[in-house]
Every structure is written in structure tokens, then in C-alpha cells.
């Protein structure tokens, strides 16, 4: 049964082990692209978003999901392969239909990222139909 209220200060988390596929080097598209073999910023952001999404899970009704609509993140330190990254999202309030979070990410050496993230709860079918219509130019 879905919770009716999300309290300010509530937290949720997500974690991952950094693999080769999660590194900045894995994002290279051309041979000239040269990136380090450390956690890519985009993968750090993904685990941060996952933590916030988990924070909203109890509010979702059948046929709904939450989507990210805004993010402001700083990547503070590099994380090597095979280390564990954990993100913690703290709910800080609602503005209209938007749910706001502060998010931090950590590895075994300490904090690696921080920032804010905003999510919305949407109807899954409506979201997918809107995306398809946009591709058809409607």
C-alpha cells in the first residue's frame, strides 16, 4: 500500500560497484576520445537519481513512475574501478508537482559528489505516448 505522506528529511539510498562499463573511458565513442578509467560523472548521477527515485517509490500508484526533471551536481573526487559507490537522497520538500532532494555520493574514501535533484510523478503510459508523439512531430 502506498504511503500518503513523504516527510521532509526522509532518506533513501542506492549503491553500485564501479565496473569497467561505469568508467569515463567506457564513454569514449571515437579512438581520439581519451578519458580516465574512473567512475564517470554520468554514472555517479545515475546512482544519485536512483536513490531519489527510491525515495518516491512509496508514493507511486499503479501505472505511475517518477522521472528526473532537474539536476545540479558537483563531482568532487575520482573513484577507481571495483570500489563501491553509495548515494543518499534526502527529501527536502515539494514545490507544486515537483519533489526536491539533496543528494550526496560516497566511496570508500569519502564524499565524491553532492547536489540537488528534482523529480515528478507521472503516468507511465502518458509519458511513453507523449515521447512517441513527439518523434512523429505531433
In a domain, 67, yes or no: yes
Domain span at residue 21 reads: 11-135
* Residue 6 belongs to some domain of the structure: no
Question: Is 26 among the domain residues?
Answer: yes
List 23, 49, 104, 117, catalytic entry: 49
Here the CATH number for the domain that contains residue 104 is 3.10.129.10
Q: Is 124 labeled as catalytic in the residue annotation? A: no
Residue 32 within any structural domain of the chain: yes
Task: Note whether 119 and 99 are within 8 A (CB).
Answer: yes
pTM: 0.92
Within-domain flag for 1: no
Among 11, 37, 41, 114, the active-site one is: 41
pLDDT digits (tens, 9 = 90+) for 2-54: 556 799 999 999 999 999 999 999 999 998 999 999 999 999 999 999 999 99
Write out pLDDT tens, residues 84-118: 999 999 999 999 999 999 999 999 999 999 999 99
75 is catalytic: yes
Catalytic residue status for 117: no
- The structural domain count of the chain equals 1
Strands 64-75 and 98-107: unpaired
Amino acid at each position: 500500500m502506498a504511503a500518503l505522506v513523504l516527510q521532509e528529511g526522509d532518506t533513501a539510498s542506492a549503491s553500485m560497484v564501479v565496473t569497467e562499463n561505469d568508467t569515463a573511458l567506457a564513454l569514449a565513442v571515437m579512438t581520439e576520445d581519451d578519458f580516465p578509467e574512473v567512475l564517470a560523472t554520468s554514472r555517479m548521477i545515475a546512482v544519485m537519481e536512483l536513490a531519489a527515485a527510491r525515495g518516491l517509490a512509496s508514493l507511486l500508484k499503479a501505472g505511475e513512475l517518477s522521472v528526473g526533471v532537474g539536476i545540479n551536481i558537483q563531482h568532487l573526487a575520482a573513484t577507481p574501478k571495483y570500489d563501491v559507490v553509495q548515494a543518499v537522497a534526502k527529501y527536502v520538500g515539494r514545490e507544486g508537482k515537483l519533489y526536491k532532494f539533496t543528494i550526496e555520493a560516497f566511496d570508500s574514501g569519502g564524499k565524491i559528489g553532492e547536489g540537488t535533484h528534482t523529480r515528478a510523478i507521472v503516468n507511465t503510459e502518458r509519458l511513453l505516448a507523449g515521447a512517441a508523439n513527439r518523434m512523429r512531430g505531433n
